[in-house]
Structure formats: structure tokens, C-alpha cells
Chain A
């Protein structure tokens, strides 16, 4: 048996081992383990283990303390567990998000991750062997099976880590950061050493000095690796499975404020446990920044740096501090643009960062939270922002026009006032009620409803849902608007609402919940998709559909608007579409703030849409529409720009069957 194993272990190609013994005939390679450990060796091992664990805890413990001492999470519920478990299985165990959004490096990462899982038992047995406590003898049936199984993974991990090393140090995608992370190189080297020293043990004779050498190098790599985890971004190994499991309920959810002293994220004391956990989980992969419309068009905002800025604040200042978080409010320190008002007010709240994040960081509540801290305390001073807030306070619409303008439009269109007899309340929104192009969309959607014979009415008085105030962090104004909106819908006894603006839909359906339950609301794309069988099928034109952030990532409506578009022509997809759609630049209240620095987000997107060669740019949000209306003046080609309601209405007979209802 010894001879057979020696032969077997000494050669790597199974084909040559035909006569070497049963084990080899079965094609089994057997892991070689050192046969004896002296007392000195055991003492040395124990001391090394103690040192490694000590260094590991020396850094991990304060981090856990910081998270623990952060503001307790107020509205947190562990239930329903189903959603959390599903996210855990898909995002952590199956590495679904990691692979799907960056397939090649994602797969390499997944192999390393799965390899690590497979290695848990191997490592445990490895160290135990050194203490003469080995529990999985390599010759046993289970040992042979498991070590061979792990060897396959070791091979995959080794290849993957080399690939990832080459990517980081030679391909150097900018999203990984301007500076090379040498710690990542060290970690990659350690992982490679772990795998090679494991695989090598299949190729040497047991009992020899080579086995000992391999065993000790494997052990050394393990014990050096452990303390490096909490000292580097590899802390995500420990924290991110928890972070993914504990994420806040819904996408880009803005939490309630609690008590009289809570104005959002003003200082360290406002950072919650969940936010602290998320910042320490960041693996610095830069996916958030890669997809950020602000960061990729030359703005100061860099979502990864916001998270890292918070982490550095927690490390240096601590979680219970009164020291302001934003650079402008911290005259004591050198200006740090990464965590500043300038940065956070450059966010369109498109949610790409949050959607992309593989470790469960929820950027939007953090960025909006920092804005809340600045706006709710009056620290944010911006001429456009103030003008917007005063317009919403005074006129109840974001465009700052007299409410009488809406009345005139409603009268001119002959829209009935909702009186409880109609099926739907048609929510006009600021764009639909006041903006010339928004009005065209509303008028066309009303034609579609007439054609379908669906009864509707509009509210006599309607104020903004508060979306721009909400995203800019003005809780007083948002609360006033949400409250008045809920009251007017209740007074009119509205049961069902339909709106052309995804921002209105999101705000009424989700954000108003803080103030009461609004009637059921849907976006006109959902309404038209449901009735698409009765809408005329058009031929000919190719239409590139742009997913609005607030309909796509925020509401997960990707198919409904596409069904409407397909009814109106041939659907063309932009390079970035569905979950990866690129923002138009208007969200987060930015449509109302001043001129952008750097490239305009809308221009970048418009060019991308035009480059598809489509005849028509199809939109499903009046804000996207207005952004592209301007941007399309500067593109090489000017395709038509139409909302999905207009795409549908253009094929309708000028007079609906049976006349006006």
C-alpha cells in the first residue's frame, strides 16, 4: 500500500499508473500528510495560531464595537425571512449578482468563494493534523473523496486568482481605484500559495521533508491570511454575508426619522448600525462608481468614496460623535471632497450603485440621509434648491407656476373632475399639469383611456407629490406635501390612480407610507400593457426604449413598457438597458438644480440612444423626456422623441368609437 501510494503520489498523470494499485486504478490521488509532529512543532503551531487569532481579533473587535455603538436601527424587522433568505442564497451562495453584472471577473470570484467554502473542512483538518487531532484520514474513503473534490476547487481557485491578479495589476480597470492595492496582491499571493501547497501535497511522498515543508507553508499562509482579513477590504469575507442578509426591506428605501433630534445624517451619532455594517463591508470593487451617472461624467460624487469616507470617519472620529459628517461643515479638517455636500447633491438617486453592489450596501438612503442632514438643519445653501423649495411651499408645484395654470389646462382639455363615479383618478403631476411637453403626454394618455372606454377624472386641486423635496432631503416640505396629497385623495374618495410619471408613482406608493396609505397607484405603462390587446398594432418604425430609473430599478417594471413599445413598432435595445439602464440626469431633484459640471448626463445617454440607429427614442417618464428633448439638439441625428403614451395614441382614430364618454 505504501509503495502504491508513493507511486501514486509521485506521478500526476493517472494514465501512467495502470498497475500501481487499486486506489490509482480508480484514478484517486491521495493527499500526503506529515506523519509526525514533535512537541516543539505543536508548541510553535499553537503559538502561531494564538498570534494569528489575536491579530485577527485585535482589529475585528473594535470594528464590531463601532458597529454595535452606532445608532440602533429603529424600524428594523428580521421578518419576512423568505426575502432575506432568497437574497442570501442568490447573492451570497450562488454569487448571482457578482457573476451577472461582471461575468468574467465575477465567475473568477465565485470560484474563489466556492473554493473557500470547499476548503473550510480541509483547513480545519489541516490544522487539526498539526495538533495530532486530524479527523479526516487521507486514505479513508471519505478523505479520498473530499480531498480530491477540494483539489478540483483548488485548481479552479488557483487559476481564478491568477486571473484576478492579472486583471488588477496589469489590466487595471479604473473602477478598482487610481492606486494599486498592494494588499490585494499580497492576499492573492497567499491564496495562490494556499492552493499550490495543497495541490503539491498530492505529488510528494508522505513522511518526507517535502511534505513537512508543504504543510508548514500551507499553515503559514493560513495564519498570515487570517489577521489580514479585518485589516483589509477582505473584511467583506466576514461581514458581507451578514450585510446582504440584513439589508433594508426595499430598494432605495429612505428610513423614517425618529424623535425631535433626528434630522438625517448630520454627525457620527446619526449613523445607524446597518449603515456602519455596510460601510465596513465595502470591498472597494467600484461597481457603484462604474455605473454612477455622476461619477462617469466628471462630477465630484463617487459613491464608493462616500462609503469609504464614512468608514474612515467611523475609524477616526467614531460613531457617537457630534462632529459633522460633511466636509463643508467640518472646518477642522482639510476639505475632503469625497464626503461633501458638493458630492452628495450631485446624486440623481438613479440607484445604479445600490443595484450593482455585491455586498449589500444601500447607497441611496446614505446619500439622501446626508442630504437630509444638510437640508433639515438649513446647512445646505443653494440658490436653485431654495427656489425649488420656496416654489413647492408657495405654489405646490416644482415648476413654480401659479396653480391657476393647471386649472386652465384642465378646463381646456375638458378633463372631468374626479367625483367618485369614475374608475381612475388621473394624476397629472407637475410635468403633466404645467410643462408643455408633459401636457402633451397627459393629453395623449387621456386619449388612450377614452379609446379604451376607461372612465377617469382629475383632482380639482393637486400639489406635487414631494418627490424632489424627498430626494433632496427636505422632510418638512415632503411631509407637508404628502399629507396634503393624502388628504385630497381621501376627500375625493379615490380608489385607483394612474400617473405618467414614475417619480409620482414611486413617491405616492412608497414614500407616502410614512404619512398614511395612499390608494393603489400604477404607471401608465402598466395600464397600457394590460390593455395592449385592444390597442392598435403598428409596423415599421424602430423604437429604442429608455428605462427610467424610477420605473425600472425602483419599480421593476421592465416588460410592461416594452410590451407597449412593441405594440407601436420594433423594439431596439440600447447597450445599457433594463437593470443597467443609464440615468437621464433629472432624478433626485437635479432637474431643478443648476448647470452640471463636466459632461451632461443627458447628453451621454442621448448619444447612446441615437447610436442605436432607431427612428424613435421612446420614453416612459416626463423628466427623461424633457432631458432628452434638450440633449437631442446636440446629437448627430435627431430621432423622434415620444413617450409611450404618444407612441400609442398616434395610431388611434381621431374620434374614439362611440364618441367622447
Chain B
């Protein structure tokens, strides 16, 4: 089975984020980058499927030159090849534009299965996977915890709300967006890094954006921490009633 994993490089989780001067993106200097967490799980799933059923795992990542470090890490963990779609203007493209860049590279591979994270740690739009599926003309399923290969295709475990799951049967080829935590990630090894040196990392140049973006980032800002105390007054019965209203309507925990 040939599996393509689309990965995104994002700032480290505990990096000290500073908003850029124009207020529309963050300062990228001094930031360290890593693989998007759900993408790490997508890669892990792909590697486990390959270990079970054989085949090939190809990782694809788009972005500036720094993205290659994340692709190298994926090779070190066990991917067979990597494709770097070089583009420095991804920030100015909308989801469709980014998905198009990735879909172009993936289509050329004609994979049996495409895996990617359900969303990214930085923007969290959760759209790239499903838009890619549309562009590639593949059936897709989202928020997948487990993948099983069956005689007719796949049986996947999909996360629903409130701790519910459902199992879905689907044909191949297909695209799945993976949830974090379904597997145990593996650690990078010396042997992996040494082997990765000999593996192919191909760089392709992204096609120029076809259309102007239909959506763009207006402003990024750090979450404001606010402490707000409201004293409820009245008889115990009144206070309790008010409290229930707030918990139901404002805080929405009831």
C-alpha cells in the first residue's frame, strides 16, 4: 500500500510567541519549529500500516526551506521518501490555495491512502484535509482514531462528540484526517537518522497562486487574560436561580 502523509511545520508548543509588527502574523525569528501534532499521529499510523501490510510511506510538506527539517525527522522515524513543495507565500494563500499546492504533489504519487492531521496547531482551521480530498476526488473521513485494512478497503474508528465513536467502512483509495492520541508516537533513533541521510528528499516548486485568496488573516493577537467577578445578590433561592442561568447560558457547562 502506498501511503502519502501530508505534514505541516508549526512553531513549538511552548515557544514564546510574539505578534509581528503588522499585527497579521507572528515574529518568526528565534522560533523553533516542529511537526504539527495530529500530523505526527498521521505519520505514526502510516508507519504502523506499512509495518503491518508493507508498501511505502511518502511524506509531503509545503512551505519555506525550514520545512525540510521536519521532513527529515519524518524520514528518520521511518518514512521512505519526502517531497518538499517549496513556497514562501503560503501565509497569503487561503485554505483552498494551500490544499491545491499539496494536492498537486499528492496526485502525482497516485497513492492508495492519504493521511493528514485533522487540524493544525497554529491556525486550527481543520479544512486542509477535506479540501484536499475534494481536489483529489477521494472519499474521506475525519477525526480518525484507528485504521484497519479490510478485504474491501478500510474500517476506521471515528471520534464523535461526548466520548462516542463510530466505525465506518470505506473503499480505497481514500483520505483520512487523523486525531491525536490514537497511537503511541515513536522516538527518533540514531539508526533512523543515519538511514534518513540516504533517503530521497525531493524539492518541487509550488505553482503560483491561481486566484486571490477568498479569506485572509485580519489580525492575530495573544489571548487576553481577564478576571471578571460578579457578585450575585438576593435570597439563596434567587441566587441559585441566577447561578443556574449563568452556568447554562454564559459558561455553558450545564
Contact = CB atoms under 8 A, between A and B. Distances in A.
B190 interface: yes
B188 A393 contact: yes
A126 B119 CA distance: 88
A77 to B, nearest CB: 25
B190 A376 contact: yes
Interface in A394-443: 394-395, 402-404, 407
A402 B190 contact: no
B191 A477 contact: no
Contacts of B248: none
Nearest to B77: A378
A476 B185 contact: no
Interface in B8-61: 12-14, 16, 34
Contacts of B191: 263, 376-378
Interface stretch (A97-105, A383-391, A518-526, A528-536): A383-391
In this complex, the interface size class of chain A, counting residues with CB under 8 Å from chain B, is 20 to 34
B189 A386 contact: no
A354 interface: no
Given A389-B187, A390-B187, A477-B187, A378 B192 contact: yes
A584 interface: no
A404 B16 contact: yes
B136 interface: no
A643 interface: no
Contacts of A257: 190
A375 interface: yes
Contacts of B185: 386, 390
Nearest to B194: A260
Contacts of B14: 395, 402-404
B188 A386 contact: no
B172 interface: no
B186 interface: yes
Contact of B187 (A386, A395, A402, A403): A386
Contact of B188 (A404, A407, A476): A476
Q: Is the interface of B mostly helix, strand, loop or mixed?
A: loop
Q: Which of A257, A390, A403, A476 has the most CB of B within 10 A?
A: A476
Contacts of B13: 394, 402
A404 B189 CA distance: 27
B184 A476 contact: no
A242 B201 CA distance: 50
B193 interface: yes
B189 A394 contact: no
Given A260-B194, A386-B184, A394-B34, A375 B189 contact: yes
Nearest to B16: A404
A404 B13 CA distance: 11
A286 B186 CA distance: 37
Contact of B186 (A376, A378, A407, A476): A378
A376 B189 contact: yes
A272 interface: no
Nearest to A476: B190
Contacts of B34: 394
Nearest to A475: B190
Contacts of A407: 16
Contacts, number: 50
Nearest to A266: B191
Nearest to A260: B194
Given A402-B13, A402-B14, A404-B14, A393 B187 contact: yes
Q: Which of B13, B14, B189, B192 has the most CB of A within 10 A?
A: B189
A474 interface: yes
A257 B190 CA distance: 11
Contacts of A390: 185, 187
A386 B184 CA distance: 9
Interface residues of B, number: 16
Q: Which of B188, B191, B192 has the most CB of A within 10 A?
A: B191
A390 B44 CA distance: 14
A67 B191 CA distance: 27
B107 to A, nearest CB: 32
Nearest to A373: B191
Contacts of B186: 378, 386
B119 to A, nearest CB: 19
Contacts of A263: 190-191
Nearest to A261: B194
A248 B184 CA distance: 39
Interface in A355-398: 375-378, 383, 385-386, 389-390, 393-395
A564 to B, nearest CB: 36
Contacts of A475: 190
A103 B194 CA distance: 50
Contacts of A477: 187-188
A19 B49 CA distance: 99
Contacts of A385: 187
Q: Which of B187, B188, B189, B192 has the most CB of A within 10 A?
A: B187
Nearest to A374: B189
A377 B189 contact: yes
Contacts of B189: 375-378, 474, 476
A394 B16 contact: no
Interface in A437-495: 474-477
Contacts of A395: 14
A113 B186 CA distance: 53
A140 B167 CA distance: 100
Interface string B105-120: 0000000000000000
Nearest to B40: A390
A524 B140 CA distance: 60
A133 to B, nearest CB: 61
A476 B193 contact: yes
Nearest to B76: A476
Contacts of B12: 394
Nearest to A378: B189
B181 to A, nearest CB: 13
A377 B189 CA distance: 6
A474 B189 CA distance: 7
A383 B186 CA distance: 9
B81 to A, nearest CB: 19
Contacts of B184: 383, 386
A394 B188 CA distance: 11
Nearest to A405: B14
A260 B196 CA distance: 12
Nearest to A395: B14
Contacts of A476: 188-190, 192-193
A20 B143 CA distance: 108
Interface string B176-212: 0000000011111111111000000000000000000
A459 to B, nearest CB: 15
A376 B189 CA distance: 5
Contacts of A383: 184
Given A377-B189, A377-B191, 12 more contacts: A257-B190, A263-B190, A376-B190, A376-B191, A378-B189, A389-B188, A390-B187, A394-B12, A394-B13, A475-B190, A476-B188, A476-B189
Interface of B: 12-14, 16, 34, 184-194
16 contacts: A260-B194, A263-B190, A377-B190, A378-B189, A378-B191, A383-B184, A386-B185, A390-B185, A390-B187, A394-B12, A395-B14, A402-B13, A407-B16, A474-B190, A476-B188, A476-B190
Closest 6 CB pairs of A and B: A402-B14, A389-B187, A376-B190, A476-B190, A378-B189, A377-B191
